[in-house]
Structure 1
C-alpha cells in the first residue's frame, strides 16, 4: 500500500508540472470510476469527479473555483457521499469552502485502543465458519463544514471555520455473523467505552488560526512551505460532557530534487488536547480547515485509533 501511494503522488506531481506549459481555461473536469469487491461488503461501485474553473487561464495552474463530488455504494449496505466546494473568486479577498459528507459503514474495523497494547487474535477476524466478527462495529456519521481564509500580510493568512458533526456508533449487524459478540461491546461492558459515548454524539466545532504558505503551486507544489496552526473548540450538543479544546500544528515542506522530474515532500504534525475530554469516536480525527475528502482521520489509521490489518 505504501508503495502504491508513493507512485501516485509522484505521478500527480509530474503531470502537474508538465501541464504548466499549456495553461487551461474555463471549466475542466476529471471523472474517475471505482470498482472493487469484498466478500463481506459485496461489490463496491463508486465514482469521483473534480471540477476546476480557470477563467481565462491567467491564474493557471491555480484555480478560481473547485468543486468535487465522490460517492460509493456496496451491494451489502455500506455507502458514502461527499461534496466539496472552494473558491478564491466567490468573495473578493477571501478563500471560502464548504462541504457535506455522509458515510454508513456496516463493517467498520475496531481493534481496540493503544496499538500493540491491545492483543490481536487473527481467528476472531471476520469468519463465516464460526460466524465471528469480533473486531467489527457499525459507524455512521454526517458532517457539514464551512471555512473562510484571508490575508494578514505577505504569505501569512488568517483562517476560521465551523463544523457540525453527528456520529452514530453501534454494534455490527451483518448477515451470516452473530451480533452481540464483539470487542466494541466488550469495551463498553468493562468501562473502557462509557455509556455516554457508546452510541456516538453530536457536536459543533469552532476553529481558528494562522497559515503560512509559500508554495509555488497549490495543487502540485514543487517548492515552498505550508505551515498551519489551529485552535479548535468543540461543544458537545448532545450531553454537554465532551467539550474540549485542542491545538493542531502542521508543517509541510516541498523540495525539488530533479527539476521537473522529482520532488521530495514531508509532513510533520502535532495535535494535542489542551482541556476537556475527547470522546473515543473523535480521537482519530485530524483537525483541518478545508474538508476536501470524505474522511480526515489518521491517528492510528484511516478509520481506527489502533490501526488496521493489511
Structure 2
C-alpha cells in the first residue's frame, strides 16, 4: 500500500495502551487496561502487520469482568493462511434482557425507575451470565482474486441465571437497596417462553464454514474496498451440548472514497438467522463474524450493532441490520515517531427482527398481562443516529468514542460508548 506523505512506515513492535474507566450505579466502577501489540516486522508490510495480540483485562467493583486475549496473523502459517484465535472469559452480573422479537416485547422504563410509583427493580430488565469463549478460525486464498475460504471451530460455555440481588446489595445504603422480586428473565421461565433446558445456559461446540471476499486497503480503517462474507455456524449435539442448529450469517461492507484518504462513506448490511434446528435463547444474541476481535458480541442494540438503542433490544431467531457512516479524517501528524490522526464520523444505524422466537406458549398469564408485556405484530424497523470521534495510532490502534440517539422511545433514549476501532 502506498504511504501517505504525512505518515512514516513502521517496523518492529508497536503497542497501544488504553485505560478502561467507566461507571454504572448498579455495577459500580469498571477499571482495567487494554493493550494492543503489533509486530510490523521489517516494515515492508505496513500498515499490515506480521501479527497482532489484543489483550483486555477489566473489572467492576461489584464483580463483573472482561478477560480477553485475541491473536491475528496472515503471515505466520504457510500458504498465506490467516489465523485468528480468541480466548475470553466474560462475567456479567446484569446483562440486558428485554424479551424477544423487538417491539413485540413491550418495554416499560418505569419498571426500572426507582422514583416511579410502578417501580419494580433497577435490575428488572437484566440477568446474569458467565461466558467462556474459545475460537480459532483459518482463512486461505481461493483461485478467484480476493476470495478466501474460512473454516473455524469454537467452544462456548455459558452459565446464565437471575441477577444475584444479594451480592449487588452488599454495602449499599438502605435507600439504594434493590428489592428481591421476580425479574423479566424469571417471568419468561415461569411463562414457559424460556425452556427448562435453556434457563441455566449450556455448552455450545461449534464449527464455522464460509466464504470471505475482501479488497480493503487497510483493515482497521479502510479508505476503499469491499468486505463481504457468507458463513454457516453449526452447533452439533456433542461434547455436552444439548442443542443442535445451524445459523446463516451474511454481511456486506463497502468503503467509498469521497475525498481520497480524507472523507469515506462506509456502510454495512447484515442478516443472521437460524436455517435448521432450534437455537437456545442465550445464543440468539451472539453475532457471528469472520473476525471476532470484538469483546462483546451481543446484539442487536448497543455499542457494536445499533448505537443508541438498549443493548440486546432486538433478540430473535433471525435479524437484519444496517449501518451507514461518513468518516472524516481531519488531522494527521507524526508525534514521537508515531503516526497519529483524528477523525469524526456521523452515522445512522437500523435493524429489525425477521424470524421471530415463538412466544405463543405463554402459560398462566392474565389478559391484562398479555397486553402489558406483549404487542404481537408491533415489530418494525428500529433506527438511531449519532456521531463520534476516532484517535488513530499507526493506522491500526484506534480509540473510539460514539454517541447514538434512538428515534423511538421503545428503544430507550441514547448511549455513549468508548472502545477500540471502527464499528466495521
Query: TM-score, normalising length from structure 2?
Result: 0.65
Could you tell me whether the CA contact under 8 Å between 1:233 and 1:244 is conserved in 2? yes
1:63 to 38, 49, 52: 49
Q: How does 1:294-305 map to 2 (within 5 A)?
A: 294-301=295-302, 303-305=311-313
Match of 2:286? Answer: 285
Q: Deviations over 1:88-125 (max 9, x none)?
A: 22212211111111111111121111222222222211
**2: distance between equivalents of 1:304 and 1:83?**
24
Three-state SS of the structure 1 residue aligned to 2:185 is helix
Distance change (3 Å), C-alpha of 1:218 and 1:278:
same
The match for 1:168 is 159
Counterpart check, 1:95 vs 2:52:
no
Q: Give the match's secondary structure for 2:198.
A: helix
Q: Is the 8 A contact 2:146 2:214 kept in 1?
A: yes
Would the alpha carbon gap of residues 254 and 99 (structure 1) be closer, same or farther in structure 2, given more than 3 Å must change? same
Q: Is the 8 A contact 1:32 1:49 kept in 2?
A: yes
CA spacing shift, 1:281–1:238, aligned 2, 3 Å: farther
Give the superposition deviation at 1:219: 2.1
Report whether the alignment pairs 1:306 with 2:308. Answer: no
Alignment partner, residue 117 of structure 1:
104
Aligned 8 A contact 1:283 1:299 in 2:
no
- Residue 189 of structure 2 aligns to a residue whose secondary structure is helix
Instruction: Quote the Cα distance in structure 1 between the aligned partners of 2:241 and 2:228.
Output: 32
- Whole-Å Cα distance in 2 between the matches of residues 127 and 213 of structure 1? 49
Can you list the C-alpha shifts for 1:204-257, whole angstroms capped at 9, x where unaligned? 110111111111222221111111111111124476542101211111101100
The superposition leaves residues 6-35 of structure 1 with CA deviations (integer Å, 9 ceiling, x where unpaired) of xxxxxxxxxxx8587311000100101121
Query: Residue 181 of structure 1: SS of its match in structure 2?
Result: coil
SS at structure 2 position matched to 1:186: helix
Task: List aligned pairs for 1:19-168, cutoff 5 A.
Answer: 21-92=7-78, 93-125=80-112, 127=114, 132=121, 133-153=123-143, 154-168=145-159
How far does residue 76 in structure 1 lie from its aligned partner after superposition? 1.2
Deviation at 1:169, TM superposition (A): 0.8
Q: Which residue of 1 aligns with 2:389?
A: none
Residues 187 and 149 of structure 1, relative CA distance in 2, 3 Å threshold: same
- Mapped to 1, the partners of 2:180 and 2:258 lie a distance apart of 53
Q: How far is 1:274 from its partner?
A: 1.1
CA contact (8 A) 1:36 1:43 kept: yes
> Is the contact between residue 205 and residue 239 of structure 2 (CA under 8 Å) also seen in structure 1?
no
Q: Secondary structure at the match of 1:304?
A: coil
Q: What RMSD, in angstroms, separates the aligned Cα atoms of the two structures?
A: 2.1
Q: Is the 8 A contact 2:120 2:181 kept in 1?
A: no
d(CA) in 1 for partners of 2:59 and 2:212? 36
SS, match of residue 263 in structure 1: strand
Length-normalised TM-score, structure 1: 0.88
- Check the 8 A contact 1:84/1:97 in 2, yes or no: yes
Number of equivalenced pairs: 294
- Label 1:200 to 1:103 Cα distance change in 2 as closer, same or farther (>3 A): same
Output aligned runs, 1:227-266, within 5 Å. 227-237=228-238, 240-266=241-267
Q: Judging changes above 3 Å, is the alpha-carbon distance between structure 1 residues 167 and 20 closer, same or farther for their aligned structure 2 residues?
A: farther
User: 1: CA distance between counterparts of 2:98 and 2:14?
Assistant: 42
Q: Supply the distance in 2 between the matched residues of 1:20 and 1:71 (Cα, whole angstroms).
A: 34
